[in-house]
Amino acid sequence: PRVVSFRAGAGADGFLFVQLDSALARNVQYVLTLEFSGLVSNSDRDSFGVVSHRTPEGDGESWVLSTLFSPTYARRAFPCFDEPAYKSTFTLTLLHDAKYTAISNTRVSSSAPVDRSANIVRTRFQPTPIMSTYLLAWVLCQCDKVTTSIAHGGDGDRLELNVWYRDGRPGTGAYAEMLLNATLHTFRSLDAIFDVPYALGKCDSVILPSMAYEGMEHWGAINYNGTRFLAGAMYELVVHEIAHQWFGNLVTHRWWSDVWIKEAFSSYVPILLDSLASGSGSESHRLTLITYVFEHCVANALSALSNPYEMSTDDVMHQFDPMTYTKGP
């Protein structure tokens, strides 16, 4: 079949209608090739999609480019089936200024100058695992890095752990070291508890200047909000995001009405690790959570575990409320 026309749908849901000149046949594989462009948002105005952050740099300024597609904003960057049940592999190539480091879900497969000037670099990444669109991520930054590795799987394989940060705020380097240690401890613990090896050979953690959430569990490229992260508690957030590498990334909810399954379980994992480390049930933490959940229920009426009704893009955002995160603990 040939493409007759394209038409963008009305409203915020961002559907693209493709008209063909004949019907598609069952059990036949088709390839649709599209040329497209997307917008880069400024973090001062919009925190979703592909986002630029301006950061002070001596007497001038520098930029960080990052992505935040969860829950329904991958469609801002490229045409896709932007729902969690539809999974694919992604092979990403970035063209960027040579002074920036390119980070994505997987390891770099090649990086080379585009021309003799060597000012522009083409960085290619290895294919991702099969995953949902909201988990795809990339970052371009001028960052410092702390790194370590741990034994991973058999045959002497190592899991590479990196923390990327901009050393522009007092204490940022020390926080990066703390984040690296927390990440290392959590991966060791969860690899043993789940008995399912982490699916990638590396995990990058990037402390961004800002973002809409406290953290985002992109598979192999976790992002943290520097404005909140550097000022608040670290351990529970780190464990929560790493737990998503299994629950959410490897095993995914079919639709956003069931997002509580991954969020509530990932909120429970820090309690689990505390219990195993102390030999107790972390009862004081549990009591605090029970009180919190009760107060939220009284204030907002009891919430059902899942909401099966049809949702618009705006409705999906409303699923990420406090109750969603506290149903598991």
So which residues are the catalytic ones? 241
- Is 165 in a helix, a strand, or coil? strand
Angle, in degrees to the nearest 10, between helices 172-194 and 235-243:
40
Distance from C-alpha of 325 to C-alpha of 264, rounded to nearest angstrom: 4
Distance from C-alpha of 22 to C-alpha of 3, rounded to nearest angstrom: 9
The answer to whether 219 touches 87, Cβ cutoff 8 Å, is no
The answer to whether 311 touches 291, Cβ cutoff 8 Å, is no
Q: At 272, list the tokens.
A: 């689990």
Residue 317, exposed/middle/buried by CB under 10 A (0-12, 13-18, 19+)?
Answer: middle
* Phi, psi (rounded to 5 degrees) for 25: -95, 150
Distance from C-alpha of 278 to C-alpha of 162, rounded to nearest angstrom: 28
* Phi, psi (rounded to 5 degrees) for 9: -75, 160
Beta partners for 60? 57
The alpha carbon dihedral of 234, 141, 211, 258 has a sign of negative
